[in-house]
Amino acid sequence: MVETRDEERDGMRTVRLRIPARAEYIALSRLALSGLAELTDVPEPMLADLKLALTEAVSNSIRHAYDGRDGYVEICYELTGTTLGIEVVDDGAGFDPERPPALEGEELTEGGLGIAIIRTIADELEIESRPGSSGSRLRFVKRLRAE
């Protein structure tokens, strides 16, 4: 089941998307981002970066949160005239956001690499989770133009 909601309040457009935690729904989250980007003329290179960051965030939730069990990922897009905020939330097993990404030799592991990519693309990043608890929240913000 996919659910969407679109609201506009105080100059902010908010779109909420709830998708099954399965890889085939990642394209839908990217499509919603593309639609929002058209509303504010996000440059194509920036949109490509944002799609990559979103893909990494949603993929991490799908891959790690539910360990093969059924679940949902909620994505909230918040668009203002100057910023785009994206929040990805799951009800999975959680993780320790303070633990540095794991290394295999000189390379980051898959999950650590995703967070590193998002950190590089985003202007702001918030991660909330606790190992063994229910759920994780990752929110990043990209400034679209100078305020």
pLDDT at 112 over 70: no
Domains and CATH numbers, the chain: 3-143 (3.30.565.10)
The whole-number pLDDT of residue 33 equals 96
Q: Which residues, including other chains, have CB under 8 Å from residue 118's CB and lie 6 or more apart?
A: 53, 56, 57, 125, 138, 140
Q: At CA 95, angle to CA 119 and CA 76, rounded to 5?
A: 55
pLDDT higher for 110 or 54?
Answer: 54
SS3 25: helix
What predicted TM-score, i.e. pTM, was given to this entire model?
0.84
The torsion angle over the Cα atoms of residues 113, 119, 120 and 121, rounded to 10 degrees, is 110
Kindly indicate the confidence band of residue 108, based on its pLDDT and cuts at 50, 70 and 90: very low
Give start and end residues of each alpha helix (H) in 8-109. Answer: 26-39, 44-60
pLDDT digits (tens, 9 = 90+) for 3-55: 666 677 777 899 999 999 999 999 999 999 999 999 888 999 999 999 999 99
List the structure tokens of 31: 């499509």
The whole-number pLDDT of residue 134 equals 75
How many CB atoms are located within 10 Å of the residue 36 CB? 21
The whole-number pLDDT of residue 103 equals 45
